């Protein structure tokens, strides 16, 4: 891969950073601080839409013949969905 390709890839999918998000205690005792910090971390990484429903799963106009762009959008959304599920666990 040329250096131009690497730079383009780096700007399309920036690395995810998780700033000091504590784990949720089994008792739920720290729910208030956990939920606040988790939401802020997801917002900072442009992933909160997967939790509040504002990032809807894209669908093809013609489900039998999706375009390459629609396939790419679906694959990108699926990857982001996998990331947010991982971060939640």
Distance CA 86, CA 10 (A): 21
pLDDT digits (tens, 9 = 90+) for 16-31: 665 566 688 899 999 9
Residue listed under structure tokens 């900072």: 44
Q: Are 30 and 24 in contact (CB under 8 A)?
A: yes
pTM score, whole prediction: 0.66
pLDDT surpasses 50 at 9? no
Q: Are 21 and 38 in contact (CB under 8 A)?
A: yes
Question: What DSSP designation does 64 have?
Answer: T
- Could you tell me what percent of the chain has a pLDDT over 90? 52
pLDDT surpasses 50 at 34? yes
Q: Are 59 and 69 in contact (CB under 8 A)?
A: no
């Amino acid at each position: 891969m040329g250096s131009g390709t690497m730079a383009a890839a780096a700007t399309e999918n920036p690395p995810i950073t998780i700033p000091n998000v504590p784990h949720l205690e089994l008792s739920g005792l720290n729910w208030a601080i956990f939920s606040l910090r988790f939401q802020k971390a997801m917002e900072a990484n442009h992933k909160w839409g997967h939790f509040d429903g504002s990032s809807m799963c894209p669908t093809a106009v013609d489900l039998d013949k999706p375009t390459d762009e629609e396939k790419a959008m679906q694959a990108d959304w699926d990857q982001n969905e996998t990331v947010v599920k991982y971060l939640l666990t």
